[in-house]
Structure 1
Amino acid sequence: MAALAWLIIPVVATLLAAAWGAWAARNRSTGDARSLAGFDRFREVMSESSSDPV
């Protein structure tokens, strides 16, 4: 029985490492498109307002 435990420990550790690796490498969306669109609108408004002489 002790030999079986010594065999199961590395197998379980390998499975946990594979699961963690898959989780760490997952594709995460950051939502940058919406933020960049807002920044483009901001730049457009700022360039329009800077062209008016005060």
Structure 2
Amino acid sequence: MGALLWLLIPVLAGLAAALWSSWTLRNRRTGDVAELAGYARFRAAMEKQHTAPAPAATTREHASDPV
């Protein structure tokens, strides 16, 4: 009877390992699909032609010119 109890320990450890591995290998919703969609949005934003605003006109009204 004692030998059967010792054999029960590795069997229970194997069952625990099987449950743990099935939990860690479960399907998750995140992955390459979300990352590729984000990269596509990034590329679309970078390919847009942006018009630069006109530079501000500089005035010399209060310039200190030596007379």
Match of 1:29 in 2: 29
The superposition leaves residues 1-51 of structure 1 with CA deviations (integer Å, 9 ceiling, x where unpaired) of 21111111011011001111111111111277667667766765676572x
Unaligned runs of 5+ in 2: 54-67
Q: TM-score, normalised by structure 2?
A: 0.50
Report which stretch shifted further, 23-32 or 3-12.
Answer: 23-32
Q: TM-score, normalised by structure 1?
A: 0.58
Report which of the two structures shows the higher radius of gyration computed on alpha carbons: 2
**RMSD, aligned CA:** 2.6
Unaligned runs of 5+ in 1: none
**Larger helix proportion of the pair:** 1
Identity of matched residues, %:
51
Query: In structure 2, what residue type is equivalent to 1:13?
Result: A
